[in-house]
Amino acid sequence: MRQSHAYDSLPQSEPLLAESGMTTGIASATPTEADYLTNQRQVAQLLTQLNQVVLDKPRVVKLALSCVLAGGHLLLQDLPGMGKTTLAQGLAQLLGLTFNRVQFTNDMLPADILGMNIYDQAKLGFEFRKGPIFTQLLLADEINRSSPKTQSALLEAMEERQVSQDGQTYRLPKPFFVIATQNPMQQAGVYPLPESQLDRFLMCLSLGYPSPAAERALLQGQDRRELLASLDAVLDTEAVLLAQQGVQQVYVADVVLDYLQRLVAKTRISQEYHGLSPRGVLSLQRAAQAYAYVSGHQEVSPEDIQAVFAAVADHRLGQRFIPTHAVSGQAALSIAQRIMAEVSVII
């Protein structure tokens, strides 16, 4: 999907067991430019419908969709009742993927998510009963209310897209996403997510309070649960996979990579936090490509980098939840926002 570049003028065991019944790839024919353009129009339609469900949060909604189309996992962090679960369920409904929801609690065990081997008397042997993680989109609701042991059960699945149990490895469906919600650490009964877990999430987003106009629309409008139930899927498995391929085709000019690397380098000179790892850098590039794709563009601009930088970087830099002020609607600048203010696009 390469075209003329607007910024060229700037300075420079047993075998894996496939999940039966799941589509594992798009048609063998190589997608054309027209296929990608059609797919982008479908993505734009999905974005419009999702904004009708989650009111007054176009930036967060667009970032959430970009995260999923980049093939990444999404962490939604905010106070209870702010619409985190509504956003996750709306995405699942409109993407047309198989969907499971797990409510995390402090007494949950890893087997409750992954599954376990059950003895089958008829077969005189053990049979693996798959847990709810064997789906295309898993909503891990209030993930930080479970113990660290249960949280760690997701690590292999989120990174390798597979589950290992008793010497066997089971491949998860394709595509596979985790959308997790968590309450702020100031809340009672929560466990902090370890850095290794946070790094598995491509983005971390917060919704914040609605505007007075959006809140009035919520009060006078249709119940969100009824609205979610009435949604029809805009994409399906093949369309999501095609969008992921399209994201990879979005061109990133050298001058834009220069800007990205300057931002990353700025994160690595602080004594207050560890800088972005190479995996974080790759995540930043992929997120920017996805944001450009969702915007209908064929190449990444510095504005795309800026749009996703805080969502990709802050939780990796140790940024804690910054609540949005109920009156002003503003939050203090995050680490990533301060870095962007100090790094020039052009040098």
Secondary structure, 3-state, 264-312:
HHHHCCCCCCCCCCHHHHHHHHHHHHHHHHHCCCCECCHHHHHHHHHHH
C-alpha to C-alpha distance for 93 and 70, rounded to whole angstroms:
18
User: What pLDDT is recorded for position 189?
Assistant: 65
Q: In this structure, is residue 6 part of a structural domain?
A: no
Number of other residues whose CB lies within 10 A of the CB of residue 18: 13
User: What pLDDT is recorded for position 3?
Assistant: 47
Q: In this structure, is residue 50 part of a structural domain?
A: yes
Q: How far is CA 81 from the centre of its chain?
A: 20
Q: In this structure, is residue 90 part of a structural domain?
A: yes
Q: In this structure, is residue 23 part of a structural domain?
A: no
Q: Are 253 and 6 in contact (CB under 8 A)?
A: no
What is the count of structural domains for the chain?
1
Number of other residues whose CB lies within 10 A of the CB of residue 227: 15
User: What pLDDT is recorded for position 325?
Assistant: 45
Q: In this structure, is residue 43 part of a structural domain?
A: yes
CATH code of the domain containing 119: 3.40.50.300
Range of the domain at 147: 33-342
Q: In this structure, is residue 24 part of a structural domain?
A: no
Q: In this structure, is residue 3 part of a structural domain?
A: no
Chunked mean pLDDT (size 10), the chain, 347 residues: 43 37 49 91 95 92 96 91 89 92 90 88 83 94 86 88 87 94 72 85 92 89 83 93 95 96 92 86 96 96 96 87 50 84 86
Secondary structure E strands in 54-192: 73-77, 99-103, 115-120, 125-130, 137-141, 162-165, 168-171, 177-182
User: What pLDDT is recorded for position 197?
Assistant: 86
- Of how many residues is the chain composed? 347
- Helices 278-294, 33-53: inter-axial angle, 10-degree rounding: 90
Of 120, 62, 94, the C-alpha closest to 292 is 62
Kindly report whether the peptide bond that precedes residue 31 is cis, defined as omega within 30 degrees of 0: no
pTM for the model: 0.85
Q: In this structure, is residue 7 part of a structural domain?
A: no
Residue 33 is which amino acid?
Answer: E
